[in-house]
Amino acid sequence: MGSPLAEGVLKQDVRAAARLMRRLDDQQPDAEQALRELYPHTGRAWILGITGSPGAGKSTLTSRLIGKFREQGKTVGVVAIDPTSPFSGGAILGDRIRMQAFEGDPGVFIRSCATRGAMGGLSRSTSNVVRVLDAFGKDVIIIETVGVGQDEVEIVSAAHSTIVVTVPGMGDDIQAIKAGILEIADVFVVNKADRDGADRTVRDLQIMLEMNLNHDIPWRPPIVKTVAAKGDGLDELVEKLEAHHAFLRQSDRIAKFNRERIRREMLDALRSRLLDAAAATIDAEGGMDKLIDDVDGGKVDPFSLAESLSGKILAK
């Protein structure tokens, strides 16, 4: 153990953790060294994912869940995934402000991930933050998405227990669930369940689940009605989540989960190294603008150019 950043995280120094997360995003070598040193100290946290359409009340639900876990004496880390944040206006900022209820609580650590740019950047950034929170000793880590993009769904589905949130009266929303996120839900939440149509939404979800039930997995995703703004249904939600966690631990699913997590982290790290090498070669060839000039001027097509660059980047 030599890294002061890693030592700081293990001593539960909040500033060291925040600094390490920032430096990991900037791909600083000392941060990557710290992550390696922290690695053996991770694997203990319970990782929850929360996804669903914009406006479904995910942030309110997340802050209620934080409250419940804090009542149980558990410490909580939150990763808010917001890949679109360079564009985002007041709405998302408002969501974040609600979280400030926990600002003075040392048992809660909240971090936003908004890395755009390189493919896989968001996934890598998120799993790094989760690892750091895990090493820090957080009992529960909640990954909350702002939207329901494919990247975000993939990241959230990598949680131990994934909550998919919908609201009454969004027929289209159910369609969206059908199209992409039905299979990743371990627990469904129908939030704003004091609105008209809540029971109908529950029934629609039930029918969809019946039709799509995977009989190889002996877990039937429960559907919980909540009114997150009032705190209604939160006890039942926590109970169902804990039942899912118990189910994971009983079976060998935790082991499978850990292997998948290793695979993803390794590939994200590898991909980022390959892309760095590509960027360096493009620079050495005169930079992207010059290469585009060559194609634009008819000297070469983009596909032949990619082949010649890969010949310079790769070992053989």
Beta-ladder partners of 202: none
The count of chain residues that interact with its own copies, using the rule CB under 8 A, is 74
* Shortest distance (Å) from residue 153 CB to its own copies: 8
Which runs of E-coded beta strand occur in 126-193? 140-145, 161-166, 187-190
* Shortest distance (Å) from residue 6 CB to its own copies: 12
**Interaction of residue 298 with its own copies, rule CB under 8 A:** yes
H/E segment holding residue 92 = helix 90-98
**Residue list 265-294, contact with its own copies (CB under 8 A):** 265-267, 269-271, 273-275, 277-278, 288, 291-292
Closer CB to its own copies, residue 29 or residue 73?
Answer: 29
Burial 220-244 (b: 16+ CB within 10 A, else e): ebbbbbbbbeeebbbeebbebbeeb
**Residue list 50-79, contact with its own copies (CB under 8 A):** 53-56
Closer CB to its own copies, residue 92 or residue 223?
Answer: 92
Write the CA distances from 139 to 69, 155, 232, 287, integer angstroms: 9, 19, 24, 46
Figure out which of the listed residues 103, 172, 210, 252 binds its own copies, where binding follows CB under 8 A.
172
List the structure tokens of 186.
């371990």
**Interaction of residue 207 with its own copies, rule CB under 8 A:** no
**Which of the stretches 3-11, 147-155, 225-233, 243-251 binds its own copies when contact is defined by CB under 8 A?**
147-155
* Shortest distance (Å) from residue 185 CB to its own copies: 12
**Interaction of residue 203 with its own copies, rule CB under 8 A:** no
> What x/- string results for residues 215 through 254 when contact with its own copies is judged by CB under 8 A?
----------------------------------------
Figure out which of the listed residues 7, 25, 183, 285 binds its own copies, where binding follows CB under 8 A.
183
